[in-house]
Structure 1
Amino acid sequence: METALTRLVGVTHPVVQTGMGWVAGPRLVTATARAGGLGILASATMSPDRLRAAVREVKERTDAPFGVNLRADAGDAGERADIIVKEGVRVASFALAPSRELIARLRDAGVVVIPSVGARRHAEKVAAWGVDAVLVQGGEGGGHTGAVATTVLLPQVVDAVDIPVIAAGGFRDGRGLVAALAHGAAGIAMGTRFLLTSDSTVPEPVKARYLAAGVQDVTVTTKVDGLPHRMLRSELVDALERSGRTRALARALRHAAAFRADSGMSWRAMVRDGLAMKHGHDLTWSQVLLAANTPMLLRAAMVDGRTDLGVMASGQVAGLIDDLPSVQDLIHAIMTEAADVLTNRLPTPDGCSA
């Protein structure tokens, strides 16, 4: 299936595996690339040296295109961009809008730039700055999310910009791909669906928690880092929502210290990134401090398997998933079902299925 996305990045199928922190490592990205999709490495939880090693590991395993997700507000974003360029990575994706200068720098080096957006005005802004495509996530998506559903947000953005639009939030199968294409998207991006594959390195007990969840078990809370964050409801999430301000800030300080030790960042670098985050999101200092919770709470679950000590970012679609296929089988099933829907299930002018 050829679309504007497959032509832009050189993949076989218009399916993107998103850059989930602690989840989207070399194994998952390699599996996605080999299956013909676009795999995205999550770099926010990696040091620059770890990122370089992860990129080289993927390149050793496959010559298919893949990407790296960057935090546009990180103080070392320029250094990470240099790694992408020097290592020949095809795509740079961003959770926030990169600067005009960074966009130009990457594009001049032949890198495809695809930021994520959650509003029409954001898409219009980055399109005017020269990005190659945008990934639009509706409120159903996992992690930091907005309040507008994909089915409302996607057509708004498609009508507003003349670059390829990738749809995210609520997708898991071929029917969803066809629906996104019908809205004008060039492909779909999925996080939770790729997390729940046999190629994902997330511990099996954690995957079991996702598989056991219903749609109503996925909630949005601001108690983790001060921003709306969609995740599985758990005993820890309930405890966080009951905790007071002083206790929450003390926990954030402990997590900031733990992340500094794990990432090798200096306190000065962490403060610098906090300032950038504060201005980029218009946050209070309390919200900036709370943001230190996110990396370590996610790591506790996604790496260490401690669902009692960590949080599990999740899209609402987790409530519809009940299996753990390989990435190869997942993408094959998506494309097979999409072809079947397009060929045999769409209504004809007389009202009957084709």
Structure 2
Amino acid sequence: MIKTRLCDLLNIQYPIIQGGMAWVATAELAAAVSNAGGLGIIGAGNAPADVIRKEINKVRSLTDKPYGVNIMLLSPFVEEIMDLVYEEKVPVITTGAGNPGKYIPKLKEQGIKVIPVVPSVALAKKMEQIGADAVIAEGTEAGGHIGELTTMVLVPQVSDAVKIPVIAAGGIADGRGLMSALSLGAQGVQLGTIFVCSEECTVHENYKRAIVKAGDRGTVVTGRSTGHPVRIIKNKLYKEFDKLEKSGASVEEIEKLGTGRLRMACVDGDVDMGSVMAGQISGLIKDIKPVKEIINTIIAECDSIIDGLNNIVRGEKLD
């Protein structure tokens, strides 16, 4: 049994949390992850509070385990979402795209754990200083909005820099990834792309199949010239982004092209002109499975690796 400080902090069985992906991380997926021993997360994205309230009520009807809400701090509804999670006493929130510092004192009044996503050591240290309970160190291998540092180099540096638990994210989808993250100093992992390819995930089947079909070079990064790069599955939309960026188009033109594209992929199933956000780990995902099977397999693989390493230490020969 793999148990870390993160398990104690969040009152979960396994050190696995689910990414708070907009249009993807619904109550159904969050409840399935929580019921399987991890921490399921509802992705608030740019949705208003009334939509997220329904998701919170739904997740509570599907599980009695801890869950969380991911809040994008650039959302036009961020203030009302913060009021909502405070009012509903959501056990955990993860945050992205900004500094949650001004909200932390009030959230802590309700015992809510705050876990920001960070792309650098400097930001991780800042989050610890302002009272974050843990940080998610996310490497550039991840899907969606990304930083520049890889998970392999970011996680150990962040782990050395802060005393709060570090959660590794980006490029992790199996027991080898979990074991690697723990070896680098993390107390757990955040998984996104692998959970998109679960039976309980409510995104369009075309979205899941696009990930399953992707190879090791199946993802690309768009929008670097805007300062907000996004990793997606290579498709016709990527070619349009590439043309615009190479032509020297303005940030406004590039951002206009991206408007509504995630919904187009997730809800409508248009994987040619929709934004199929997915990580580089897509090439490792070969099928669609129940969440419980995904988590149990990851834990069993990690346990097996630990047993194998113990055998090496004892000088025993591996099979």
> Residues 175-186 of structure 1: matches in 2 within 5 Å?
175-186=176-187
Change (3 A) 1:4 1:97: farther
Aligned partner of 1:338: which letter? C
Q: In the alignment, residue 313 of structure 2 is paired with which amino acid?
A: T
What's the counterpart of residue 207 of structure 2? 206
Q: Show the counterpart of 1:263.
A: none
1:280 corresponds to: none
Question: Offset of 1:151 from its aligned partner?
Answer: 0.8
Provide closer, same or farther for how the CA distance between residues 195 and 310 of structure 1 changes in structure 2, counting only shifts above 3 A.
Answer: same
| TM-fit CA distance, 1:226 | 5.1
Give 2:313's aligned residue. 348
Change (3 A) 1:232 1:343: same
Measured after TM superposition, the shift of residue 45 of structure 1 is 3.4
- Once the two structures are superposed, the pairs formed by residues 145-184 of structure 1 within 5 Å of their partners are 145-184=146-185
Q: Shift of the alpha carbon at 1:224?
A: 9.5
Say which SS state the counterpart of residue 11 (structure 1) adopts: coil
Q: In structure 2, what is the equivalent of residue 321 of structure 1?
A: 285
Aligned residue pairs total 317
Report the Cα offset of residue 28 of structure 1. 0.6
Distance 1:225 1:35, change over 3 A: farther
* 1:46 aligned partner: 47
> Cα deviation per residue 1:166-199 (whole Å; 9 max; x = unaligned)?
0001101111111111111110111101001111
Contact 1:78 1:102 in 2 (8 A): no
Query: Counterpart of 1:27?
Result: 28
The code of the aligned residue for 1:336 comes to A
Query: Structure 1 residue 12 and structure 2 residue 10: aligned?
Result: no
Identify if the C-alpha distance between structure 1 residues 163 and 239 changes in structure 2 by more than 3 Å, giving closer, same or farther: same
Q: Where do residues 200-349 of structure 1 align in structure 2 (5 Å cutoff)?
A: 200-222=201-223, 227-243=228-244, 286=251, 290-291=254-255, 294=258, 296-346=260-310, 347-348=312-313
User: Which SS does the other structure have where 1:241 is aligned?
Assistant: helix
Is contact 2:73-2:97 (8 Å) kept?
A: yes
User: In the alignment, which residue of structure 1 is the partner of 2:133?
Assistant: 132
Label 1:174 to 1:344 Cα distance change in 2 as closer, same or farther (>3 A). Answer: same
Q: CA offsets, 1:62-105, max 9 Å, x none? A: 11101001122335323211211221211011013434221111
Shift of 1:18: 0.4
Can you list the C-alpha shifts for 1:47-67, whole angstroms capped at 9, x where unaligned?
110011110110111111010
Instruction: State the secondary structure of the residue aligned to 2:313.
Output: coil
The 3 A distance-change label for structure 1 pair 46 and 292 is: farther
Greater shift, 143-152 or 225-234, is seen at 225-234
Q: Residues 23-53 of structure 1, C-alpha deviation per residue, up to 9 Å, x if partnerless?
A: 0011111111111111111101321100111
Name the Cα RMSD after superposition. Answer: 2.2
Q: Percent identity?
A: 35
Q: In 2, Cα distance between the equivalents of 1:156 and 1:247?
A: 36
Query: 1-side partners of 2:221 and 2:160: how far apart?
Result: 28
Greater alpha carbon shift after TM alignment, 343-352 vs 325-334: 343-352
Distance verdict in 2 for CA 1:3–1:313, change over 3 Å: same
Could you say if the C-alpha distance between residues 338 and 187 of structure 1 is closer, same or farther in structure 2, counting changes exceeding 3 Å? same
Amino acid at match of 1:341: I
Matches within 5 A, 1:48-63: 48-63=49-64
- Matching residue of 2:123: 122
Residue deviations 1:140-167 (CA, integer Å, cap 9, x gap)? 1111112211111100000000000000
2:48 and 2:81 in contact (8 A); partners too: no
Sort the Cα spacing of 1:307 and 1:226 in 2 relative to 1 into closer, same or farther, 3 A: farther
Q: Which residue of 2 aligns with 1:282?
A: none
Measure, in 2, the Cα distance between the counterparts of 1:195 and 1:18. Answer: 10
Structure 2 residue aligned with 1:194: 195
2-structure distance, mates of 1:188, 1:208: 24
Task: State how far apart, in whole Å, the 2-side matches of 1:124 and 1:218 are.
Answer: 31
What's the TM-score, normalizing by structure 2? 0.93
More moved, 18-27 vs 37-46:
37-46
- 208 and 18 in structure 1: CA distance in 2 versus 1, 3 angstrom threshold: same
Moved more, 230-239 or 71-80: 71-80
TM superposition score normalised by structure 1: 0.84
Contact 1:203 1:304 in 2 (8 A): yes
Q: CA deviation at 1:295?
A: 5.5
Distance 1:328 1:98, change over 3 A: same
